[in-house]
Structure 1
Amino acid sequence: MSYLALSIALVFVLIPLFLSKTLHLGLEKDTLIATIRSIIQLFAVGYILQFIFEADSPLYILLMVMVMIGAATLNARKKGSVIKGITWKVAVTLIFIEVLTQGIILGFNITPRSAQYIIPLSGMVIGNSMVLAILFLNRFSAEIESRQDETELILSLGGTPKQAINTQLITSIKASMIPTIESQKTIGLVQLPGMMSGQIIGGADPIQAVQFQLLILFLLLTTAAVTSIMLGTLSYPSLFNQRMQMLRAR
């Protein structure tokens, strides 16, 4: 795509600006800021990735992955303010899922061991894991607050913290995983996934594009399950003190 074609594509920004102005939605400023930031951020990342791909150095790859994990952690932790130590819990979860998925991919030589494959796949895994963490923490925090009396009742009857919080955990894990599972049920029917579409537009064989997309879908299923379950397992003990009493939600 030429820069001229990209400039013409800005018409898709003018349309929401016009509608916002006409309907007095007041979203013009936010739309412009979002557009400008996306342009700057994506071009910056593009040049950084170009440098990393050309260097193909393990150190640069590791640094890029660490930056992605750090940014994802800072974003996801906001939804878990009621959970003590949520920052390191999210970070450990993201690191674990990254090591797990890349270990399998590289260990079995599913994709080449180059920055061109490692970084995009890591970005998809970490990004999806971040979204899953946000969904889980948002629902788990709400469940904790809304069912606190029920939890304390189970504890008073001799139940363990795990038994007392089990319903909230299961509900939150399922709620965070459902969007991933449901979206995969209609994949290829309702929409063509982004990676597959990008490869086809880039001239790749459609069947090869399908194979890579299936790899992504399988990765995201693992990410959904492991992220929610691991984060829940790490999080719930901090809701109780050493006497197995529930700490009041702040």
Structure 2
Amino acid sequence: MAFWDAFTTDFSWIIDFLKGMVKPVAATAVVLMAVLLSYLQKLGLEGEMVYSIIRAFLQLSIIGFVLQFIFTQENIGWIVLAYLFMVSVAGYTAGQRAKHVPRGKYVAGASILAGTAVTMFVLVVLNVFPFTPRYIIPVAGMMVGNAMTVTGVTMKRLRDDIRTQMSLVETALALGATPRQATLQQVKRALVISLSPVLDNAKTVGLISLPGAMTGLIMGGASPLEAIQLQIVVMNMLIGASTVSSIMSTYLCWPSFFTPAFQLETKVFTSE
């Protein structure tokens, strides 16, 4: 009996987790509705929908157990390891979007690392967040995810714009312009397009929808005033990290777009 009491005490959080999964499982009813609609409309997305929700369940469950372990540790190394893992996955994903950019995965990873690390450093130095797993890992996850999307779009758009306007860029190079000067307009356009959704989201936050961090706090029992304070911090850090990451990606892309003689690397722009 004593053994069972000790077992249930040590693993009570697992039992609580399983009890808490009743509502998420019940919520799959809306996914079944989507699967049914896909079938009736002959969209052919039924298998992908089922696969996506099963994968989400598994991934989030595993992450839940991992975070539960990390939060109980007093070791900075776990924070760094979790952060680098997120950056690696984000770099790979963003690089897949910009698959025609040479070494795109490394460029994306380095850009995301730079943007999020600088932003996180500023927040910690200003004492906005304490350097503990419970704060740093969720905050880093939000920044890395947002920077991943922006960086992928920036790299892809920059390469596609240069490809479309190769003659203009080559003319500028022939007249003595540096690679930066010759592609300045393309870089600006790529950055504006990639950052616009982040800025639009900041403009409409709270008016159209309540963001995840704010909603989570309110549903967790926090007052709306406390929730908006955190959400303001989140929006600020997302804009900062996304801007640094996207700009960094353009600088890291340039070497692969041009030859040492400052000519366009045509093989980068000939593939579809």
TM-score (norm. length: structure 1): 0.95
> Residues 99 and 3 (structure 1 numbering): CA distance in 2 closer, same or farther, change over 3 Å?
closer
Task: Give 1:209 deviation, angstroms.
Answer: 1.0
* Partner AA of 1:83 in structure 2: V
1:13 pairs, out of 17, 31, 38, with 31
| CA deviation string 1:202-224 (max 9, x = no partner) | 11121111111100000011122
Distance in 2 separating the partners of 1:143 and 1:3: 47
SS at match of 2:72: helix
> Who wins on radius of gyration, i.e. which is larger?
2
Distance in 1 separating the partners of 2:139 and 2:83: 10
Residue in structure 1 matched with residue 253 of structure 2 by the alignment = 235
Question: Structure 1 unaligned runs (5+)?
Answer: none
Residue in structure 2 matched with residue 83 of structure 1 by the alignment = 101
Farther-moved stretch of structure 1 (190-199 vs 7-16)? 7-16
| CA deviation string 1:43-90 (max 9, x = no partner) | 000110011001142111111111101101111112333333333322
Task: Give 1:164 deviation, angstroms.
Answer: 1.0
> Residues 23 and 85 (structure 1 numbering): CA distance in 2 closer, same or farther, change over 3 Å?
closer
Task: Give 1:25 deviation, angstroms.
Answer: 1.2
Distance in 2 separating the partners of 1:246 and 1:6: 52
In the TM superposition, what are the counterparts of 1:113-124 in structure 2 within 5 Å? 113-124=131-142
Distance in 1 separating the partners of 2:195 and 2:189: 10
2:209 pairs, out of 191, 214, 220, with 191
Q: Percent identity?
A: 30
Distance in 2 separating the partners of 1:95 and 1:76: 12
Distance in 1 separating the partners of 2:211 and 2:257: 39
The number of aligned residues is 250
**1:28 partnered with 2:46:** yes
Distance in 2 separating the partners of 1:3 and 1:231: 40
Distance in 2 separating the partners of 1:56 and 1:211: 27
In the TM superposition, what are the counterparts of 1:89-168 in structure 2 within 5 Å? 89-168=107-186
**1:66 partnered with 2:84:** yes
Task: Give 1:35 deviation, angstroms.
Answer: 0.7
Distance in 2 separating the partners of 1:125 and 1:138: 20
2:234 pairs, out of 206, 216, 219, with 216
SS at match of 2:215: helix
TM-score (norm. length: structure 2): 0.88
Task: Give 1:24 deviation, angstroms.
Answer: 1.2
Residue in structure 2 matched with residue 226 of structure 1 by the alignment = 244
Task: Give 1:116 deviation, angstroms.
Answer: 0.4
- Judge conservation of contact 1:161–1:237 (CA < 8 Å) in 2: no
Task: Give 1:234 deviation, angstroms.
Answer: 1.7
* Partner AA of 2:147 in structure 1: S
- Judge conservation of contact 2:120–2:140 (CA < 8 Å) in 1: yes
Distance in 1 separating the partners of 2:109 and 2:206: 33
**Aligned residues: CA RMSD:** 1.4
* Partner AA of 1:25 in structure 2: L
Task: Give 1:4 deviation, angstroms.
Answer: 2.6
Residue in structure 1 matched with residue 75 of structure 2 by the alignment = 57
Task: Give 1:181 deviation, angstroms.
Answer: 0.5
* Partner AA of 2:261 in structure 1: R
Farther-moved stretch of structure 1 (118-127 vs 81-90)? 81-90
Distance in 1 separating the partners of 2:224 and 2:94: 35
Task: Give 1:104 deviation, angstroms.
Answer: 1.1
